[in-house]
Amino acid sequence: MNFNIYDFTEFIISIDNWLKQLLSPGLAKITGMALIGVTFLLFVTLLGLSIVYIERKVCAFFQQRLGPMRVGFWGTAQTIADIIKLIFKEPLATKNSDKFLFNLAAFIVLISPFMVIAVVPFAKGLHALDFDIGLFYVTAVSSLGVTGILLAGWSSNNKYSLIGAMRSGAQIISYELSIGLSLLAIVILTGSLQLSVIVESQRDGWWIFKGNIPAIVAFIIFIIASTAESNRGPFDLAEAESELTAGFHTEYSGIKFAFFFLAEYVNLFIIAAIGATVFFGGWMPLHIGNFTFFNEAMDIIPPIIWFFAKVAALIFLLMWFKWTFPRLRIDQLLQLEWKYLLPLSILNLVLMTIVSLTGWHL
């Protein structure tokens, strides 16, 4: 089977057709779903493994050391070894804790990034779902994760976990607003929430370049707010090691701990993917207006590579933040959101409306 690495539409359709020929319609649908599920599971695992490795390396380089070096070439197999260790560890739970919720929490935390990843367009035609409410769906579903964190903190029966969960809940709920508003700024320009339409609208240039100053402001707000929402440094108060040992997942061990760990890194990927899609054109190659020669030259690089390159760059940016800035206090954190970011993003939204109405964007 030969397929075009620039357009996956036909590839997906042909798999669908093949399944339909092979099985009865109902069974074909179920098999298709299962196929997608397995693909995403594998993808997420792979993603988790590689991002964890990258994070450790980046951290090490920022701190002038080498990081994992022993297992595999330059320590590439280190994370796999870690996972194996975690799987074989005994799952523990504290006395008097609510076991049912304690176990459930780990799953809820992982479910929400899975649901989001379904709408991410990796390349043309390569996505599980293409909702007309795409971006809204992303914000809606990603807000589910906070329930898992709260449950984890509560059911551990540990005051550090509880405080961590409370902090985390307050933080995530607050910063969700800014994320939504900063994404809306771009939605004003595209006139659609559908992610494929948003990508398509950047055919002649990415929004960060076309959208004038408000787009840049929106991007900065997005990056800050989403760093906070994913509980990463410098906003990692929920798991501040020095104060709360490890926050809401202090009591978790073994594979359930791995779930939290994985969820955090998948979330990192999702933030970078959404940011890349909305502000940097997703899988769309770098195009400059009607500069045909340059555009065609750029088109040679397959979209999927563009996508992952952008995502990688954004992930690196976020890691850079984490290992550079010191941690904030919780009151400073909430002040930053409610007193500065939120008013700023509302103002930015108004500005963007003006820009969009007067046609000052390109």
**Beta carbon nearer to other proteins, 137 or 279:** 137
Given a contact cutoff of 8 angstroms between Cβ atoms, the answer to whether 249 and 239 are in contact is yes
Query: Smallest gap, in angstroms, from Cβ of residue 137 to other proteins?
Result: 5
CB 235 within 8 A of CB 331: no
Nearest to 54 by CA among 239, 314, 315: 315
Contact of 253 with 89, CB cutoff 8 Å: yes
Choose, by CB under 8 A, the member of 15, 86, 93, 104 that binds other proteins: 104
- Shortest Cβ distance from residue 72 to other proteins (Å)? 40
Establish if 20 lies at the interface with other proteins (CB under 8 A). no
The least CB distance from residue 136 to other proteins, in Å, is 5
**Identity (one letter) of the amino acid at 215?**
A
Is 23 near other proteins (CB under 8 A)? no
What are 240's two structure tokens? 């501040």
Number of residues interacting with other proteins: please give it, by CB under 8 A.
Answer: 33
Among 2, 64, 96, 290, binds other proteins (CB under 8 A): 96
100 CB burial (10 A radius; 0-12, 13-18, 19+): exposed
Residue (151 or 221) nearer to other proteins, CB: 151
* Closest distance to other proteins from the beta carbon of 180 (Å): 9
- Smallest distance from the beta carbon of 133 to other proteins, in angstroms? 5
Tell which one of 18, 61, 100, 107 touches other proteins (CB under 8 A). 100
128 contacts: CB under 8 Å, gap ≥ 6: 36, 40, 117, 118, 119
Burial group, residue 296, by CB count within 10 angstroms (0-12, 13-18, 19+): exposed
Q: Closest distance between other proteins and the C-beta of residue 100, in Å?
A: 7
Candidates 11, 23, 29, 62; binder of other proteins (CB under 8 A) is: 29
User: What is the C-alpha to C-alpha distance for residues 258 and 184, in angstroms, rounded to an integer?
Assistant: 34
In this structure, what are the phi and psi dihedrals at residue 106, rounded to the nearest 5 degrees? -60, -35
Nearest approach in angstroms of CB 2 to other proteins is: 32
Taking CB under 8 A as the criterion, the residue among 49, 123, 193, 240 binding other proteins is 193
Q: How far apart are the first and last CA of the chain?
A: 41
112: number of Cβ within 10 Å = 22
Using CB under 8 A as the binding rule, the residues of this chain from 119 to 178 that contact other proteins are 131-133, 136-137, 139-141, 143-144, 146-147, 150-151, 154-155, 157, 162, 165-166, 169, 173, 176
CB nearer other proteins, residue 154 or residue 259: 154
* Residues 6 or more apart whose Cβ sits within 8 Å of residue 224: 178, 336, 341
318 binds other proteins (CB under 8 A): no
Of the candidate residues 31, 50, 76, 97, the single one contacting other proteins (CB under 8 A) = 97
User: Helix, strand, or coil here: 115?
Assistant: helix
**In angstroms, what is the C-alpha Rg of the chain?**
21
Binding residues for other proteins, per CB under 8 A? 26, 29, 96-98, 100-101, 104, 131-133, 136-137, 139-141, 143-144, 146-147, 150-151, 154-155, 157, 162, 165-166, 169, 173, 176, 192-193
